[in-house]
Structure 1
Amino acid sequence: MDLQPSGRPKEELLYLETDKIYFTIKGKNRNCEIDDKDVDGRGYSISYEEKGVNLIVYTKKAYFFEYENYELLIEKKDKDIDLSFYHENKDIRNKITKNRSGSLSGIVTFKGEIGYSDLVIKVNGKDHFIIQVEVFPAKIDYRKDYIAIRSDVNEEIYNLAFDFLKRTYSLGGLSKHKGDSLSEYYSILNYIFEKLKKALKTITTMPHHLLVNERKVVSYHKLKNATSETIKWLEKRPEKLVKKKDKFLPVEALEVRKKVTLDTNENRFLKFIVKSILFKLKELRKRYFKLERIEDSSFISRLEGFAKTMNKYLTSTFLKDVGQYHFRENLSMVFKMAVGYNDVYKYYLMLQKGLTLNGELFRLNIKDLPLLYEYWCFIKINGILRKNYNLISNDTVKVKNNGIFVALKKGVESKVVYENPENGERFVLSYNSKMPSETVGQKPDNVLAIDKIGEKATYNYIFDAKYKLDGASKGSSYEKHNKTPGPKEEDINTMHRYRDAIVHNNEETGRYEKIVSGAFVLFPYEDEEEYCEHPLYKSIDTVNIGGIPFLPRATKLMEEFLREIIGE
């Protein structure tokens, strides 16, 4: 007896024709899973590379998803036409092959490459037209989660770089390492400008000030407050005293008054920073016009807007009455700790150094979602820890000749060390750390190693990022045991393997001992409240193995768990 067909049958998702070819894409129709409010357009767009192409499109909407198979069929109308197909991904390109009739066909998958993807159709060696499809993630929300993950990666990497710069470079040292590229300076300023404005606004609301003594010689009848300094001044100037009846009274005397001043060295340095940004903007504008190219009105308008804003702070705030800055070797604690000032200083460091972030993370095809999710998990855990604990050292960010280098790479170990300000205990978050084993070496994604005061043992907690989700489809064994979506069971089994395989040799007893206190799968799921009832979450309390949902909109359970294991 024949097996009943499973899943959804393949349908024509996109069908079009020109005067030379027919083009068809078949696959599972999942258009119903896309909210039209969250996407742009039809899910695809077409550009004409060959003049005079008469194109007829029969499909209104076609949405494509990661890890789905799609059948491409490109047929020619004339036997003398030579068809070819191009895609930047070699794996996709090689799947499309030519048959005896000269037509092209094949089954392709975009795997985890989220975002836009170009399908190039060539006729006789020349581009006929290009279909740009938009590939959506199946496990997370495209707009709310995917975009947020990319934003988080950028934001946290810049924050790690800021912290690195603040700890590594003194003000004097930076003057020797300025970035040379004005275009680079502009791109950095463009990135941080709104944050810089916010920090400057905070400062103008609550500027740093000092209480100083103002000394002034005044007539005796105007003298309101006589101090010990007044008496000492008169003792050295007896000629200022005249005898009236039986008393000696001064003609004039020194008066010392307490006065609040904003003309502090910190505010002078702040003014210096604003003036240096304004100078760079003027230089950039001057060089741009020397290029004698077609003027970009949008660029010029933005440049002049930056300059106008910076000039306003110089002429319309307390800075207009602040004096000239004189270099000091040691920077004031105001720029390290005071609200507003610390932010302005880190943006200044960024501009002065020429923060060019390089490394695997920035060469990565950012559409590779599983690897992006793995990087994000490590970076986001760091972001959570930085809120409550002191960053001690960080080898994910390094300096090379071409700027700041992000040494975060799949297969290469990275470590960030933190300290608990309440008790001085230190803990290390490692990425791709090679853990000891007497059989096959183990390399989990993220390991949090906590050293507790008064104990020899180190508590190791594994957080393995898995861009996988079991949807608990109706009638499945997963749905029967767990009822709601959660981590894959094979990934939970991997956590058991980690705890059993990762051991060290206790020299005192001569025995191998397990050193993993807990192992957890991080997986993409947003309903934290529902997941709290999941058996693989409750198992964390009983056997210290389970899954924790982790997405930009789902960090509460992870934050609570980190606080618990660090503080217990």
Structure 2
Amino acid sequence: MINNQTKKYSYAIKNHGTFEIITSDNKKLHDSKIVTKNFKISILGQKQSVENSGKIYLFDWQEISFIAIINPIKHSKEYSLWLDNKLVAYSKRLNKQLHSIRTLKGNLSFKEALGNHEIKILSPNNTVVLELSFEVFPKKIQYKKDYKLLQKDCARIVNNISYKLLPNFYKKIKNKSSGITSNAKWWFILDALFEDLIKSLELIQRNPKHNIITDEEVKQIDKVRKPSSKNKIWLTKNTQYISNNKEDGIELISGQYFSHALTLKKKLSYDNYENRFVKYMANQIIIRLTDLKKDLHKNSVSNNKKVVQKITAYTGRLHSILNKIPFSKVGHFEKETYFSSTLTQAAGYKDLLQIYSLLENGFEILEDEFLTLNYKKIDDLYSYWCFIKIFDTIINSSNLKIKSQNLLGLYNGKIKVNVGLNDFTTIKLTSKEHKEISLQYKKEKPLISIEVATKKETPFLSHFYPNYQIINDNRYSEDFNNIDSSLMLFKEYIKKEEIINEVKQKDRTNLKPIILYPSDAKDTNFQNLKKENNAIKDLPLLPTKSGLLENYIRNTVVDETANNNVQEFVGMHYQQYISDREIFDKGILIGRLKKEALQKRLTYLDKKNRYYFPFVKSKNSRIYKVSYLLLTQPESSIALLKKVKSWEILNKKELTDTGIDWELNSEHYLVFNLDNETQQIDTKIEIPIFSFRYTTLRGLYFFKNQEINNALYVANEASYLLYKILIKKDIEFTISWFKDAKDFTCVEFKLSNNLKLICSNRYLHQHYMVENELKPLSSLIDKFL
């Protein structure tokens, strides 16, 4: 129970009077052995030494009374009392006489004003006669520990988010002027910007800086257009081209006939400073990736496997680019001081240089108010942390990408945290499955809202109310009979708020108000949180106790059901499945090389790296969206897989001029320009294809391993997962491409009971059309499978 006895602190001010502070004598403060380094007292400019028992310690719920008895002085102005440089009260005379005794009285409350405070008494001529510094503690005496934990975790999460947003920021962000990035930071930057780095290299590859140089070439004498001035000397050294027979060449010297000579020829050269520097940058990245891979192999941690796989893939892609023109024609880079407007302004070069500079030096995050809040604003810091913690949990538990946000911005080229600066901080996330999650932080309440929306389902809305002041732990309260009073009062407040929200959000369902509050109490069972859906729930949350929030987010916002199905039937961890699926889900056009003039067609394909199909008028056709060609051969199990670089439309004559001497039946053709590399795939059986069909890399590899014809129909992620489930459950089925000209990914499964299941990338994630109704995979497994 609270000790109702009062405690008095008295201070004598020489030649001025006395000053007293009266507060309840809180035994809890003394028993807790709190030590403050922030107590100071100066009287008329002289610091006073005070024993620990005489220092002022206050909880934020305590009020204090003060009274100053001031000696009579002849002065028309009054004494004044100031709290944190704000005027609180003036002194008053006991009677109307000028030289009367004066009193200075009042009460002070420090609710939600934690941390250091300063009281000053000023004389009528504005001289500081007393200056008192002391500290106000919250109900939870561990608030300093909480503050440091919150601040540290905020910095960690913001740092992680900044890497995710680098693709949006890197073109305008300023790299540090000096310093070397650690391996961890270097990797995070590269991982975030690798696709942009590849795009820059490919842009340079398509339009590299070049010079036109004059070169000499040996040619037959009748084909020499611009003879070289070095021909005299050259001919004397190359007598094999001189003959006495006039039929062997042209007579330049009497009796001597020359069959060949040097001619001048202009040609493109890519061997310049800029391209050598680009090649040098790419090689330096490869070297560091190789070193990083070696270090990871030495420290064999399970989490390293995925990083090693990425490093291998990144290194391979960089080598592939460097082995092609123009970089294969570029010499060694010599370090020298040289200004190049190409590197700082030209397309591709400019972005690549910026990425490389960030890799070498890193970037800065402004340590503004967000990360330097004093103890008085721990309530704000806790609310901010709750918001970014929820966002961090969602983004790390799903395959969602950031669509838009105002959480982080740029200020003078440096990343700045905007939480608390705006009335509303909003983040929008999207996925390939047409799922969108919006997070919003409203500063005034504070309130965190999560809205999950899809094209087919009613949006789901949940409200989180962070409140650092709520107590729910006996260790932090003296009033053990009133432990949950603040929580109950806050729930009453939320009920009123939610009624207002429901009126405003009539088109939303599943409002789930949840109170977030700091506590070291053990996480309760998640199932308890899921019960009583309409009740206001309370959820303890600190950096050291975040498991319950993370479980709640994963199970309600991200939907863990789909994850479990993947792990059960596909045989791989869901996060690995998410990271791998983009590698496989590349559209493949399957075409047949005709038996007629087969060898000529193969030679044309090998030399020209192009292949053609009859022109398809509709630009919405799936044929324009493929990433690879798989060209099959008649009466053979060998198929050729080539990557598509670009496509163009040519008429019959234009296509014939590229080197075709067999009959063409159409007037216009869709021509694919292909990568030089060809992958031969032995499918073990002849692929029964007429005209052309479509699949994905996943379907192709699945087909190779399964050696089952219909595996080629696996044209999207949903079809792959359903295929695996049906096989594992030993359910008979047939599969085919669904006839939908506008949908490249539509696949139909037909079960033995004539039940049809249709899947498409256009549907919700892991949803299937059954009897004209879209249903999730989990319900299909329970009901039909």
Say whether the fold is shared (TM-score over 0.5).
Answer: yes
3-state SS of paired residue (2:554): helix
1:397 corresponding residue in structure 2 = 408
Alpha-carbon deviation of 1:558? 1.0
1:565 corresponding residue in structure 2 = 556
| Distance of aligned partners of 1:156 and 1:122 in 2 relative to their CA distance in 1, 3 Å threshold | farther
2:376 corresponding residue in structure 1 = 367
3-state SS of paired residue (1:377): helix
Question: Would you say how many aligned residue pairs link Structure 1 and Structure 2?
Answer: 404
1:418 corresponding residue in structure 2 = 429
Query: Can you list the C-alpha shifts for 1:278-307, whole angstroms capped at 9, x where unaligned?
Result: xxxxxxxxxxxxxxxxxxxxxxxxxxxxxx
Query: Can you list the C-alpha shifts for 1:221-271, whole angstroms capped at 9, x where unaligned?
Result: xxxxxxxxxxxxxxxxxxxxxxxxxxxxxxxxxxxxxxxxxx962574799
| Distance of aligned partners of 1:97 and 1:520 in 2 relative to their CA distance in 1, 3 Å threshold | farther
2:10 corresponding residue in structure 1 = 15
2:54 corresponding residue in structure 1 = 60
1:265 corresponding residue in structure 2 = 281
Alpha-carbon deviation of 1:201? 10
1:349 corresponding residue in structure 2 = 363
3-state SS of paired residue (2:545): coil
Q: 2: CA distance between counterparts of 1:140 and 1:381?
A: 26
Q: 2: CA distance between counterparts of 1:201 and 1:412?
A: 34
Q: Does the CA-based 8 Å contact 1:498-1:519 persist in structure 2?
A: no
Which letter does structure 2 place at the counterpart of 1:517?
A: L
2:20 corresponding residue in structure 1 = 24
| Distance of aligned partners of 1:494 and 1:117 in 2 relative to their CA distance in 1, 3 Å threshold | closer
1:314 corresponding residue in structure 2 = none
Q: Does the CA-based 8 Å contact 2:185-2:362 persist in structure 1?
A: no
Alpha-carbon deviation of 1:447? 0.6
3-state SS of paired residue (1:85): strand
2:488 corresponding residue in structure 1 = 489
Alpha-carbon deviation of 1:528? 2.8
Query: Can you list the C-alpha shifts for 1:124-145, whole angstroms capped at 9, x where unaligned?
Result: 4212342211111213612321
Alpha-carbon deviation of 1:64? 1.5
Alpha-carbon deviation of 1:518? 1.0
Q: 2: CA distance between counterparts of 1:457 and 1:346?
A: 47
Question: Which residue of the other structure, out of 431, 438, 443, is the alignment partner of 1:428?
Answer: 438
Aligned pairs for 1:280-295 (under 5 A) are: none
Which letter does structure 2 place at the counterpart of 1:502?
A: N
Which letter does structure 1 place at the counterpart of 2:489?
A: E
Q: Does the CA-based 8 Å contact 1:16-1:55 persist in structure 2?
A: no
3-state SS of paired residue (1:563): helix
Query: Can you list the C-alpha shifts for 1:452-473, whole angstroms capped at 9, x where unaligned?
Result: 4x63311111101223325588
Which letter does structure 1 place at the counterpart of 2:548?
A: L
2:111 corresponding residue in structure 1 = 111
1:287 corresponding residue in structure 2 = none
Q: 2: CA distance between counterparts of 1:54 and 1:519?
A: 52
1:388 corresponding residue in structure 2 = 397
Alpha-carbon deviation of 1:448? 0.8
Query: Can you list the C-alpha shifts for 1:489-523, whole angstroms capped at 9, x where unaligned?
Result: 233234444444434799xxxxx555343111112
Alpha-carbon deviation of 1:80? 5.4
Which letter does structure 2 place at the counterpart of 1:372?
A: L
Alpha-carbon deviation of 1:33? 4.0
1:301 corresponding residue in structure 2 = none
Alpha-carbon deviation of 1:541? 1.5
Aligned pairs for 1:471-510 (under 5 A) are: 471=472, 485=484, 488-503=487-502
Query: Can you list the C-alpha shifts for 1:530-562, whole angstroms capped at 9, x where unaligned?
Result: x559xxx94652224311112233212111111
Question: Which residue of the other structure, out of 349, 356, 373, is the alignment partner of 1:329?
Answer: 349
| Distance of aligned partners of 1:57 and 1:498 in 2 relative to their CA distance in 1, 3 Å threshold | closer
Q: 2: CA distance between counterparts of 1:460 and 1:80?
A: 68
2:762 corresponding residue in structure 1 = none
3-state SS of paired residue (2:107): strand
**TM-score where L is the length of structure 1:** 0.57
Q: 2: CA distance between counterparts of 1:371 and 1:83?
A: 35
3-state SS of paired residue (1:120): strand
2:470 corresponding residue in structure 1 = 469
2:143 corresponding residue in structure 1 = 142
3-state SS of paired residue (1:32): helix
Q: 2: CA distance between counterparts of 1:109 and 1:365?
A: 19
| Distance of aligned partners of 1:493 and 1:199 in 2 relative to their CA distance in 1, 3 Å threshold | same
3-state SS of paired residue (1:345): helix
Which letter does structure 1 place at the counterpart of 2:447?
A: D
Query: Can you list the C-alpha shifts for 1:353-379, whole angstroms capped at 9, x where unaligned?
Result: xx5466x75797662333333223213
Q: 2: CA distance between counterparts of 1:505 and 1:200?
A: 44
1:541 aligns with 2:551: no
Aligned pairs for 1:40-79 (under 5 A) are: 40-41=36-37, 44-47=39-42, 50=45, 59-77=53-71, 79=73
Q: 2: CA distance between counterparts of 1:111 and 1:505?
A: 32
Q: 2: CA distance between counterparts of 1:270 and 1:50?
A: 65
1:552 aligns with 2:506: no
3-state SS of paired residue (1:518): strand
3-state SS of paired residue (2:393): helix
Q: 2: CA distance between counterparts of 1:118 and 1:89?
A: 8
3-state SS of paired residue (2:543): coil
Higher RCO (CA-CA < 8 Å; seq separation 6+): 1
Q: 2: CA distance between counterparts of 1:381 and 1:525?
A: 17
**TM-score where L is the length of structure 2:** 0.43
3-state SS of paired residue (1:542): coil
Percent identity reads: 18
3-state SS of paired residue (2:64): strand
Which letter does structure 2 place at the counterpart of 1:30?
A: N
Alpha-carbon deviation of 1:54? 7.3
Query: Can you list the C-alpha shifts for 1:320-357, whole angstroms capped at 9, x where unaligned?
Result: x9975995638679x99xxxx99x7396232xxxx546
Deviates more, 1:73-82 or 1:12-21: 73-82
Which letter does structure 2 place at the counterpart of 1:464?
A: Y
Q: 1: CA distance between counterparts of 2:390 and 2:43?
A: 45
| Distance of aligned partners of 1:163 and 1:502 in 2 relative to their CA distance in 1, 3 Å threshold | same
RMSD: 4.8
3-state SS of paired residue (2:516): strand
Alpha-carbon deviation of 1:165? 4.2
Which runs of no fewer than 5 residues in structure 2 stay unpaired? 95-100, 189-193, 195-278, 289-331, 560-785
Aligned pairs for 1:88-99 (under 5 A) are: 88=84, 90=86, 93-94=87-88, 98=92
3-state SS of paired residue (1:551): coil
Alpha-carbon deviation of 1:382? 2.5
1:515 corresponding residue in structure 2 = 509
Q: 1: CA distance between counterparts of 2:85 and 2:401?
A: 40
Which letter does structure 2 place at the counterpart of 1:136?
A: F
| Distance of aligned partners of 1:96 and 1:489 in 2 relative to their CA distance in 1, 3 Å threshold | farther
Aligned pairs for 1:228-239 (under 5 A) are: none
Q: Does the CA-based 8 Å contact 1:65-1:136 persist in structure 2?
A: yes
| Distance of aligned partners of 1:346 and 1:7 in 2 relative to their CA distance in 1, 3 Å threshold | farther
3-state SS of paired residue (1:103): strand
| Distance of aligned partners of 1:115 and 1:505 in 2 relative to their CA distance in 1, 3 Å threshold | closer
Which runs of no fewer than 5 residues in structure 1 stay unpaired? 1-5, 180-184, 209-262, 273-320, 435-442, 507-511
2:460 corresponding residue in structure 1 = 459
| Distance of aligned partners of 1:268 and 1:484 in 2 relative to their CA distance in 1, 3 Å threshold | same
Q: 2: CA distance between counterparts of 1:425 and 1:16?
A: 66
The structure whose Rg is larger is: 2
3-state SS of paired residue (1:382): helix
